[in-house]
Chain A
Amino acid sequence: NAGVTQTPKFRILKIGQSMTLQCTQDMNHNYMYWYRQDPGMGLKLIYYSVGAGITDKGEVPNGYNVSRSTTEDFPLRLELAAPSQTSVYFCASRRDRASNEQFFGPGTRLTVL
């Protein structure tokens, strides 16, 4: 099992550009999450999904969109990139409602200039 994979590893965007951060898990987990991590700030939840076709906002959803058409994939879309979105983005998955542990992907470092 590859676990949780994310692409790309690094990306530099110009203000106003758009991009999609990819996240895939091969563990057949129902729950998936997107976090952003800024220095000294821990992880902030952007969006999450409890299953295919179901998504919900987290703590900091503004400027982002998600979709969950399959169990495996949970892409995060930035439509109009802003410098405030410069961060490290982590995708995570969790097996189901009964489990607690979240498994994290390796992260995507995004810089918006």
Chain B
Amino acid sequence: EDKVVQSPLSLVVHEGDTVTLNCSYEVTNFRSLLWYKQEKKAPTFLFMLTSSGIEKKSGRLSSILDKKELFSILNITATQTGDSAIYLCAVSTTGANSKLTFGKGITLSVRP
């Protein structure tokens, strides 16, 4: 059975801090790993990672994948209160019936 584990499950930081969110996975026929941000509504797409060692960046957010050790990290630097959200990691597999398997999510709270 495909499995995605995120840690920590929740995190409280102060504005300006840097955070690292972790995602490890065990899936057969790995295709890609996706990060989503969810703020009280539908998840919105952040990054998709398919190759090891290549960092994806968007402003203060960055993410990297390690396919050998089967994990990914999402970094957020100089956190702001608007970064408060649930961060979901999901893994997709190859094949015609490819689906996403989600982790439980990491609840990040950024205090002023």
- Seen from chain A, the residues whose Cβ lies within 8 Å of a Cβ on chain B are 33, 35, 40-45, 48, 50, 56, 58, 90, 97, 100-107
What would 25 A/B residue contacts be, using CB atoms closer than 8 Å?
Answer: A35-B102, A40-B104, A40-B107, A42-B6, A42-B104, A42-B105, A43-B43, A43-B88, A43-B100, A43-B102, A45-B99, A45-B101, A48-B97, A50-B96, A90-B43, A97-B96, A100-B32, A100-B48, A101-B34, A102-B34, A102-B100, A103-B45, A106-B41, A106-B42, A107-B41
CB of A90 within 8 A of CB of B42, answer yes
In the assembled complex, the Cα of A110 lies from the Cα of B104 at a distance in Å of: 20
Q: Contacts of B105 on A, CB cut-off 8 Å? A: 40, 42
- Seen from chain B, the residues whose Cβ lies within 8 Å of a Cβ on chain A are 4, 6, 9, 31-32, 34, 41-45, 48, 50, 88, 90, 92, 96-105, 107
In the assembled complex, the Cα of A107 lies from the Cα of B38 at a distance in Å of: 12
